[in-house]
Copies of this chain bind each other. A is one copy, B any other.
Amino acid sequence: MPNPIEFWFDFSSPYSYLASEQIEPIAARCGRRVEYKPTLLGVIFRTTGAVPLTELVPPKSRYFAHDFERSARFAGVPYRKPSVFPIPTVNAARALLWLQAQDEAVALRFLHAAFRAYFAQDRNLADAAVLEAVAREAGADPARLQQGMQEPAIKERLKALVDESIARGVFGAPTLFVDGEMFWGNDRLPQVERWLASGPF
């Protein structure tokens, strides 16, 4: 069984959303599966000193707002600008981790539903009611999820993932690892696909 593609992301990262809508067909074509690993960009930016999209100098931030919408159209991915951006994503990440431990299929549906709620439907994923509704849409039991998210093991798991991402050099999202090779950004998916299809280059 070949290694999975590691997909590190934050639910508040627009280019992570774009990549999440495209990586599974790529993985399927190459006989791999995708392992989604949430991290927290807020912690990463504070730790590494990298500049978040939201704090870029004006000409760059203007360009990226436009580039993001154009990149969504280029990829054929629905997008509607979130009214609130960025948002805290600790709860969404913990919800995903708990669901991944319960039922992978439900967790995967939750991941895509959560990204789409925030980036295509302008629903604030940091709002507990939105998170609950998204969980229900994905087929999860919101009451059990609400409890599960509070488990110390889940909190520890997220903390461990954030630490691991920083230790492995992740400074932004999405960051993908294919057999140890690191690729940053939605725009590296063509390189990811070639690496998967024909090996290191």
Residues on A close to B: CB < 8 A? 48-51, 56-60, 62-63, 66-67, 70-71, 73-74, 169-172, 182, 184-185, 187-188, 190-191, 194, 201
Contacts and interface: CB of A to CB of B under 8 A. Distances in A.
Given A51-B51, A184-B67, A188-B187, A201 B73 contact: yes
Which of A51, A63, A73 counts the most chain B CB atoms within 10 A? A63
A60 B57 CA distance: 18
Contacts of A62: 169
Given A73-B201, A201-B73, A57 B49 contact: yes
A48 B73 contact: no
Nearest to A66: B182
Nearest to A170: B59
A201 B63 contact: no
A70 B73 CA distance: 27
A113 B18 CA distance: 38
List the 5 shortest-distance A-B pairs measured between CB atoms, nearest first: A187-B187, A59-B169, A49-B57, A59-B171, A60-B171
17 contacts: A48-B57, A48-B60, A49-B57, A50-B56, A57-B171, A59-B169, A60-B172, A63-B171, A63-B184, A66-B182, A67-B184, A70-B191, A73-B201, A74-B190, A74-B191, A185-B187, A187-B188
Contacts of A63: 169, 171, 182, 184
A20 to B, nearest CB: 19
A136 to B, nearest CB: 35
